[in-house]
Amino acid sequence: MAHPPEAHPNTAAELGVQLVRLVRLIHRVKSQTGKKGPDGIEQSAYAILFHLVQDGPQRTGRLAESLHSEISTISRQSNALVQHGLVERQADPNDGRACLLAPTAEGQRIFREAHDQRTRWLAEVLADWSQADRLALNSLFARLNTDIETRTPNLAEPACAPQAKGGHA
């Protein structure tokens, strides 16, 4: 039986602390690798490449939606990926006026290389964990991600937030 969120405030609060800590650590690791890759492409542009390799060719608008980014940002970053031969534009088979972005063979190679590097690093991080703990972590992370994806946060305005004059928002 599912309990309302207020039934587990200490557990939820601690999870929040640990998630913030995880995000900070990931940002630290990313900052240590630099803002640009060895080929001069912004690190954030690689999210486009990874998305295309995992989910297949897509339009710029769909990528922007999936990556929670502006279309102009996706366009700029995908242009850099095209110029470096990691992504190519293809005619959309459903609409000849539109184009899809798709990874090239070189883009797929770069993706695999980065994926393998991340996998080796995470294996190092988890080296002292038991197999049962590693499996439990994967299972629980997958469950957490699925639940986060399916629930929109209800972030109500704080009670002490100032109201507009006249009581109108």
Cβ atoms of residues 43 and 36 within 8 Å: yes
pLDDT at residue 160 tops 90? no
Cβ atoms of residues 59 and 92 within 8 Å: yes
Domains of the chain: 37-141 (1.10.10.10)
Report the Cα–Cα distance between both ends of the chain, in Å, rounded: 38
Reported pTM: 0.69
> One-letter amino acid identity for 109?
R
96-142 pLDDT, tens digit per residue, is 788 999 999 999 998 898 889 889 999 999 999 999 999 999 999 99
Neighbours of 63 (CB within 10 A): 23
